[in-house]
Amino acid sequence: MAQKYQIKVFGKQGCDKCHTLNQRLDKLLATGEYRDFGKLYCDVETVDGLVAFAEAECINPARIPAMLVTAWDETCGEYIPVGTRQPGEKDSVCQKAKLYQYVGLQTDYSAAGKGLITPKMIQSVLAEATA
């Protein structure tokens, strides 16, 4: 049986920030607290990764790495993006890294965001998906 949630991680080879996001997710998922979540890495420099990125329709290509939380839908037999409950609402933890309409994060390279996706931001997004 498929896991209830799948985190799609969008990144590319040789990207230190992409590597860090993957490590942070792997560490969190290994704790057992997030056993309902699986992870799918999508390398945007491959055809399959680029197709998954395009299908996400919500991530700025200049803000990779990024992650999108999807949930298994029995009706259509595939994972679909989890909608955020209040699109555009300010988020004190994720700030501008939070996606607008779906549950997920993209890297904020501004001076305020510093290009970081922290474990606290990841945990906040995963909690939103299960709420």
Most confident of 43-47, 83-87, 91-95: 43-47
Residue 112 has pLDDT above 90, yes or no: no
Distance of alpha carbon 60 from alpha carbon 128, whole angstroms: 21
Distance of alpha carbon 44 from alpha carbon 61, whole angstroms: 9
- Predicted TM-score (pTM) of the model is 0.93
Residue 2 has pLDDT above 80, yes or no: no
* Domains along the sequence of the chain with CATH: 5-130 (3.40.30.10)
Question: What mean pLDDT is predicted for residues 89-100?
Answer: 88
pLDDT digit string, tens, across residues 47-88: 999 999 999 988 999 999 999 999 999 999 999 999 998 887
Question: What mean pLDDT is predicted for residues 113-128?
Answer: 93
Q: Give me the chain's average pLDDT, please.
A: 93
- Predicted confidence at residue 113, as pLDDT, reads 86
pLDDT digit string, tens, across residues 3-30: 999 999 999 999 999 999 999 999 999 9
Give 124's contacts (C-beta < 8 A, 6+ positions apart). Answer: 91, 93, 94
User: Is the separation of the CB atoms in 119 and 24 below 8 Å?
Assistant: yes
- Predicted confidence at residue 1, as pLDDT, reads 52
- Predicted confidence at residue 45, as pLDDT, reads 96
